[in-house]
A and B are shown apart, each in its own frame.
Chain A
Amino acid sequence: MTGPADDLVLEIDDLSITFPGGRGFLPWQRLPDVRAVQHVSLSIARGDTLGLVGESGSGKTTIGRAVLRFIRPRSGRIRVGDFDVTGFEGSVPRSFRRAVQVVFQDPVGSLNPSMVVGDIVGEPLRIHAGLSGAARQDRAGDLLEQVGLQRHHLNRYPHEFSGGQRQRIAVARALATDPDLLVLDEPVSALDVSTQSQVINLLERLQRETSAAYLFIAHDLAVVRHVCNRIAVMYHSRIVETGPSDGICDAPAHPYTELLLASIPDPDPEVQTGRSARRRALTIGTAGSVGNAPEDGCPFADRCPHVMDVCRESFPEFTPTLAGGEVACHLHTSGPMLGGAPVGTLGSVGA
C-alpha cells in the first residue's frame, strides 16, 4: 500500500501519450494520431512493486519508456523522486539516469554483443561513479556476485551465457547505480519457467536489500500476482482497474480483469476444465485489441459481455472496489450498480 506522499518514488498524473499517425497515400495526407496512453495515473512507494499488466498494444511498455524519458508524453506529469521528468528541457540530467534504471524483456538484444560483461556492467560505474581500471572491475565483480554470477565472468561476452544468466547481467548493470526506481519491462517473459522463478527470487532479494521501487511490466497476471504488492490492469491505452494483488486476482471488479484471469491456463486439468469454460463464457467475438483506442467510451466495450449503451459514450469514473482498489467500469456506477463488488457476483455469464 502507498505510504506517506513524500515516500513515493514514482508518481504519474493524468499521463497521455500519442504517436503521430503515418503519412497517407498522398504526401499531404496524415493519418490520425495513435492514442497509446490516455489519462493514466499511478504511484509507487519506496520498496514497493507495482505490476502493470496488459496485452500487447495496451500501452504498458509506452508508459515505461515515458518514465525513462525515452519518449515525451503529450500531456500529464511524471515525477521520480525530486525529478520532474516531464519538465526536463533539452538533455536529461545525469543524476536522473542514476536514479532510474531498466531491465528489458529480450535477454539477447539488451546486451551489446561486442562488449565483455565487465564493460557492460562497468559502464554505469564509469559514468556515474567515475570509477576506472581495477576499482571498476572490482565493483563490477561484486555486482556479478550479488546477482549469482561469478567474478571470472567479467571477461566473457554476452553470447556465452544462457537466457537466465543474461538477465542476471542486465540486473547487475541496472543495480550498478544503486537506483531508486527500476523499470522491469517483461523481465522474465522470455525465460523458461524454472529460470523465471530464479530471476524473480533474485529481484525480490535485491529489493529487500536496496529498497528500490519496481515498476514491473508484464502480460502474465499469475507472475505479476506473485511479484507485486499492487497491480494496475491496462486495456488499450487505459487503466481499467488497480488494487492490491491478491484482491484483484481473487475478486476482479472489471470484466477485462476477469477475462484475463480466466485465460491463465492452470496445470491442474480439473481446474483448467472449469476455467476454460468460464473463459469461453466471457469471450465475445474473436478480435483482440485492434485499431486506434476510442477517445471517449470504454475501449473494452466491443469485447465486454456486459456492455451497455453508456459504455460507448463515456469512459467511466474510477470507483473504489471492495478489494481495496479502484475500477473504471459503468457496471459499478450505472446499470447493475456493483458498487465495487467483484464482477463475478453478477452471476455467471451465459451459464
Chain B
Amino acid sequence: MSAHQSARSRFWSRFLRNRVSLVGGGYLVVLVLVAAGARFLTPHDPNVATRFQDFLFPPFGEYLLGTDLVGRDIFTRLLYGARYALFAGAEAVLIALVVGVPLGLVIGYFRGWVDRIVMRFVETVVAVPAVVMAMAIIAAVGTGLTTAMFAIGVVYSMIITRLTRAEVFAAREELYVDGARAAGATDRRIMWKHILPNIAPPLIVQTTLLFAQAVLAEAALSFLGIGASAHQASWGRMLRDAQDSIDQSFWPAVPPGIAVFLTVIAFNVFGDGLRDAFAREARGGRVGVGDVEAVDPGSDPVPPSDDALLTIRNLSVRFPRPGETEDVSVVSGVDLDIGRGEVMALVGESGSGKSITAMSIMGLVPDPGLASAASIGLDGRELVGLDFDELRRIRGHEIGVIFQEPSAALNPAYTVGRQVAEPLEVHLGMGRRQARARVVELMELVGIPDPGRRIDAYPHQFSGGMAQRVVIAMALACEPKLLIADEPTTALDVTVQGQILDLVGDLSRDLGVSVLLITHDLGVVADLADRVAVMYAGEIVETGRLTEVFADPQHPYTEGLIRAIPRNEARSGELPTIPGVVPPPWEWPDHCHFADRCAHAGDACRVGPVPLQTVGASSVRCIRAGEVVLRGVRAHGGAAS
C-alpha cells in the first residue's frame, strides 16, 4: 500500500513544485469559495440598484468597483458572476463527460460500422466552431443560460468522445485487456474496470481545459444576449451591459473582462500542470546527463596495464532518493581495463548496474544521477573532468555504441544512408558526396547486400537483423577505438543473433576495435568475449579471462549464473536457480552484497565490505574464494553440440 501512496504523493509533490500551476489552482479554490460565500462578502444585491441611483459611480468607498449603467454594484455582480461561471462550466463539462466518455468507450472498444458512422458525425460537429454550433442549437431549443450551456456541453461531448475513443484504441491492445478477456470478464467490465481507469489522466486534463473553454463560451453567448438573462449577474451579461454604456464609461467592462481572463488562464495552467505531472509519472523521469566528478583513487589503485585502451578506476554512480537525504549507490568502486582489440563482456542480471557503468564512460548518466571516478582513461586521454561538449566529440567518434533495439536506435523519418552519414559529416567534416561513398563502404563492411541501392531505403524496409547491421555501420562510421554493445542481440531472433555476433567478432579482429559487450546471456559471452567481468548489485564480483572464469568460477554468483542458463542437454531434476532476486539498491548491505542469496555464506561474510582479491589469474570479491568448490561450464557433463 505504502509504495502506491508514495506514487500518488510523488504525483502531487511534482504538481506542487510547479509554481505557476499552483497559483492557478489557488485562484480556482478562491473562486469556488467566493462563489459559495458571495452573499456574505457583500452587503448589496447583484440585481437591485443602490439607494441613491448612483449610475456609473466610479470605484470608491462603498462601491469597491463602482456601479454600472443602472446603478448596481459591480463588485457584488462580479462575486455572483463567479457562481454563474462555475455553474455554466460545470454543466457543459458534465454533459460532455456523461455523453462523451461512454460513447467513446463503446465505439473505441467495438469499432466497426457504428464507430465509422459516429465518427463522421463527430468530425462534422467538431469542424464548426463551438460557439457557432451552440448558436444553432440555441436557435432550435431557445435561449437562456441553462440551454446555452447545454448546447455547449453537447458540442464538447464530441471532443470528449473523440479523445476517449483514441485512448481506448491504444488501451484495448494492452496485454492486461487480453488477460481480463481470458479470465472471462464481460466487455462491459473490461471497458469500465480495465480500460477507463488507465485512460483517465488525459481525460482529466482535457476536462480541465474544456472547463476554461466553457467559461469563455458562457461569456461570449451571454454577451451576444442568448446566454444569461438580464437578472442573472454573469460575467458575460456584465460585459453586455457595459457595452451599452461604453460611450459614457469604459470602466464597467474592465472587472468582468479581467475575471474571465484570469479564470480561463487559471484553468489552463492548472490543466497544463496536471498534464506535466501525469506525463512524468508515465515516463518515470527525464533522461539527461551529468558530468563525471573526479574523486580520490582510493587507498590502493591498481596501475593501468600498458596495452589497455580503456582504464576505469573507482567508478561510482549515485542517485538521489525522493524523500531521503542520503543518495543511493547503484554502481560502486568499479575498476575495469579493456585491452586493444579485446572483447570484454560485462555480465549480470538486470539491476546489477552493468548498463549504467557503460553509459557513464561516455558521461551519459540518467538525469538526477551523479557519476564519479578517480580516472577514466581512453587511449591515454583522461575523460574525467571533460565538459559536455568535449565528451560529445568523443561519443560517436572515439566510442561507438550499439543498442539492444535497432528499431529504436534508427530514426524512421530518414533514409539509413543519411543516418550513417551524419557522424561522418559532424565528426569528420566530410562533404555529402564523400560521406555517401564511405557509407556504401561501411554498409558493405557490415554485410548489407546491395548497399548502393539500399542506402536510400528507410529503416522500416529492413528486418531486425539488417537494421542492427545499419546501427553497427553507424557506430563504426568514425573508426572508433571502442565499441560499446549493450545487449546487441537480445531483441533479435536466435538464428540472426549468431550472424550479428560473428559480425562483431570479425570487425573487432579485422579493425582492431575493442568491444565492451553488455549482456545477461552467458552463451553470447562465450561466443564473443576474451575476458569477462561479472557484476552483481553495483559491484564487480569476478573478473578474468573467459575460459578460466567459466571453466573454474571463483564467486558463487558466477557459478549460479552458469548453472542457471538452460543448455541443450538432457534434463535431470529441478532446474538450478539462484534463490531470491537482486534487491533494490537501497537495500544493499555494507558487507558482501550477495550473502543473502549465497549457499556458502557464513557469519564472516556479513562483517564488512569485501575487497577484490587475486585468485589465480582472476580477481574475486569473495572472502571464501579458493575455499569452496564451485562448478563451471564443464561440470554439466558432455554437452551435445
With contacts A219-B493, A269-B546 taken as known, whether A128 is within 8 angstroms of B640 at the C-beta atoms is no
Q: How many residues of B contact A (CB 8 A)?
A: 71
Please give, as numbers and ranges, the residues of chain B lying within 8 Å of A156 by CB-CB distance: 1, 3-4
Whether A170 contacts B581 by the Cβ 8 Å rule is no
Whether B7 contacts A159 by the Cβ 8 Å rule is yes
Please give, as numbers and ranges, the residues of chain A lying within 8 Å of B465 by CB-CB distance: 286, 288
* Bound-complex Cα distance A156 to B2 (A): 8
- What's the least CB distance linking A301 to chain B, in Å? 15
Whether A127 contacts B185 by the Cβ 8 Å rule is yes
Please give, as numbers and ranges, the residues of chain A lying within 8 Å of B570 by CB-CB distance: 246, 250
Whether A201 contacts B181 by the Cβ 8 Å rule is no
Q: B-facing mask of A50-93, CB < 8 A → 1, else 0?
A: 00000110000000000010100000000000000000000000
For chain A residues 255-277, which have a beta carbon within 8 Å of chain B? 259-269, 271-272, 274-276
**Pick the contact of B577 from A163, A198, A263 — CB < 8 Å?**
A198
Smallest CB gap from B448: residue in A? A286
* Bound-complex Cα distance A278 to B198 (A): 49
Whether A288 contacts B463 by the Cβ 8 Å rule is yes
B498 at the interface (CB under 8 A from A): yes
A222 at the interface (CB under 8 A from B): yes
Whether A266 contacts B176 by the Cβ 8 Å rule is no
A165 at the interface (CB under 8 A from B): yes
A3 at the interface (CB under 8 A from B): no
Please give, as numbers and ranges, the residues of chain A lying within 8 Å of B464 by CB-CB distance: 56, 288
B634 at the interface (CB under 8 A from A): yes
Whether B178 contacts A197 by the Cβ 8 Å rule is no
- What's the least CB distance linking A271 to chain B, in Å? 5
Please give, as numbers and ranges, the residues of chain B lying within 8 Å of A197 by CB-CB distance: 564, 566, 575-577
With contacts A55-B495, A109-B175 taken as known, whether A266 is within 8 angstroms of B184 at the C-beta atoms is no
Q: Which of A176, A177, A198, A223 has the most CB of B within 10 A?
A: A198
Whether A260 contacts B526 by the Cβ 8 Å rule is no
Please give, as numbers and ranges, the residues of chain A lying within 8 Å of B185 by CB-CB distance: 123, 127
B371 at the interface (CB under 8 A from A): no
Please give, as numbers and ranges, the residues of chain B lying within 8 Å of A225 by CB-CB distance: 566, 568, 571
B197 at the interface (CB under 8 A from A): yes
Whether B198 contacts A97 by the Cβ 8 Å rule is no
A194 at the interface (CB under 8 A from B): yes
For chain A residues 224-265, which have a beta carbon within 8 Å of chain B? 225-226, 246, 249-250, 259-265
Please give, as numbers and ranges, the residues of chain A lying within 8 Å of B571 by CB-CB distance: 225-226
Smallest CB gap from A128: residue in B? B184
* Bound-complex Cα distance A177 to B179 (A): 13
Whether B184 contacts A112 by the Cβ 8 Å rule is no
Whether A170 contacts B179 by the Cβ 8 Å rule is yes
With contacts A222-B566, A263-B498 taken as known, whether A55 is within 8 angstroms of B493 at the C-beta atoms is yes
For chain A residues 152-182, which have a beta carbon within 8 Å of chain B? 155-157, 159-160, 162-165, 170, 173, 176-177
Whether B497 contacts A263 by the Cβ 8 Å rule is yes
- What's the least CB distance linking A50 to chain B, in Å? 16
* Bound-complex Cα distance A105 to B465 (A): 22
Whether B577 contacts A201 by the Cβ 8 Å rule is yes
For chain B residues 623-641, which have a beta carbon within 8 Å of chain A? 633-634, 636, 639-641
**Pick the contact of B520 from A109, A162, A192, A220 — CB < 8 Å?**
A192
With contacts A97-B184, A226-B566, A265-B501 taken as known, whether A162 is within 8 angstroms of B495 at the C-beta atoms is no
Please give, as numbers and ranges, the residues of chain B lying within 8 Å of A128 by CB-CB distance: 184
- What's the least CB distance linking A159 to chain B, in Å? 7
Whether A201 contacts B640 by the Cβ 8 Å rule is no
**Pick the contact of A266 from B180, B463, B501, B526 — CB < 8 Å?**
B526
Please give, as numbers and ranges, the residues of chain A lying within 8 Å of B176 by CB-CB distance: 109-113
Whether A177 contacts B183 by the Cβ 8 Å rule is yes
Smallest CB gap from A303: residue in B? B495
With contacts A193-B564, A267-B562, A288-B495 taken as known, whether A110 is within 8 angstroms of B526 at the C-beta atoms is no
Please give, as numbers and ranges, the residues of chain B lying within 8 Å of A127 by CB-CB distance: 183-185
- What's the least CB distance linking A261 to chain B, in Å? 6
Whether A290 contacts B463 by the Cβ 8 Å rule is yes
* Bound-complex Cα distance A262 to B526 (A): 14
Smallest CB gap from A282: residue in B? B495
Whether B4 contacts A160 by the Cβ 8 Å rule is yes
Please give, as numbers and ranges, the residues of chain A lying within 8 Å of B525 by CB-CB distance: 267
Please give, as numbers and ranges, the residues of chain A lying within 8 Å of B576 by CB-CB distance: 197
Whether B197 contacts A114 by the Cβ 8 Å rule is yes
Q: B-facing mask of A113-142, CB < 8 A → 1, else 0?
A: 111100000011001100000000000000
Whether A269 contacts B526 by the Cβ 8 Å rule is yes
- What's the least CB distance linking A110 to chain B, in Å? 4
Q: A-facing mask of B419-442, CB < 8 A → 1, else 0?
A: 000000000000000000000000
* Bound-complex Cα distance A157 to B4 (A): 7
- What's the least CB distance linking B144 to chain A, in Å? 40
* Bound-complex Cα distance A166 to B618 (A): 37
Smallest CB gap from B579: residue in A? A198
* Bound-complex Cα distance A275 to B180 (A): 43
Please give, as numbers and ranges, the residues of chain A lying within 8 Å of B97 by CB-CB distance: none
With contacts A112-B194, A265-B523, A287-B463 taken as known, whether A220 is within 8 angstroms of B179 at the C-beta atoms is no
Whether B560 contacts A194 by the Cβ 8 Å rule is yes
Please give, as numbers and ranges, the residues of chain A lying within 8 Å of B350 by CB-CB distance: 163, 192
* Bound-complex Cα distance A84 to B121 (A): 41
Please give, as numbers and ranges, the residues of chain B lying within 8 Å of A13 by CB-CB distance: none
**Pick the contact of B495 from A249, A263, A272 — CB < 8 Å?**
A263
Please give, as numbers and ranges, the residues of chain A lying within 8 Å of B546 by CB-CB distance: 269
B550 at the interface (CB under 8 A from A): yes
B247 at the interface (CB under 8 A from A): no
Whether A112 contacts B198 by the Cβ 8 Å rule is yes
A38 at the interface (CB under 8 A from B): no
Please give, as numbers and ranges, the residues of chain B lying within 8 Å of A261 by CB-CB distance: 568
**Pick the contact of A219 from B494, B502, B520, B581 — CB < 8 Å?**
B494
A280 at the interface (CB under 8 A from B): yes
Please give, as numbers and ranges, the residues of chain A lying within 8 Å of B574 by CB-CB distance: 201, 204
Whether A102 contacts B561 by the Cβ 8 Å rule is no
Please give, as numbers and ranges, the residues of chain B lying within 8 Å of A102 by CB-CB distance: 178-179, 182
Please give, as numbers and ranges, the residues of chain A lying within 8 Å of B565 by CB-CB distance: 193, 267
A18 at the interface (CB under 8 A from B): no
Whether A104 contacts B178 by the Cβ 8 Å rule is yes
For chain B residues 22-55, which have a beta carbon within 8 Å of chain A? none
For chain B residues 532-576, which have a beta carbon within 8 Å of chain A? 546-547, 550-551, 560-562, 564-568, 570-571, 574-576
B449 at the interface (CB under 8 A from A): yes
Q: 12 other contacts beyond A156-B1, A165-B581, with CB at 8 A cut-off? A: A68-B178, A106-B175, A114-B197, A115-B194, A127-B184, A163-B350, A195-B577, A198-B579, A266-B568, A268-B633, A269-B633, A288-B493
Q: Which 8 A-B pairs have the closest CB atoms?
A: A265-B523, A97-B184, A197-B575, A194-B578, A268-B633, A114-B197, A267-B522, A55-B493
Can you name 8 A-B residue pairings with CB atoms under 8 Å?
Answer: A55-B495, A109-B176, A114-B197, A197-B575, A250-B570, A264-B568, A267-B633, A286-B447
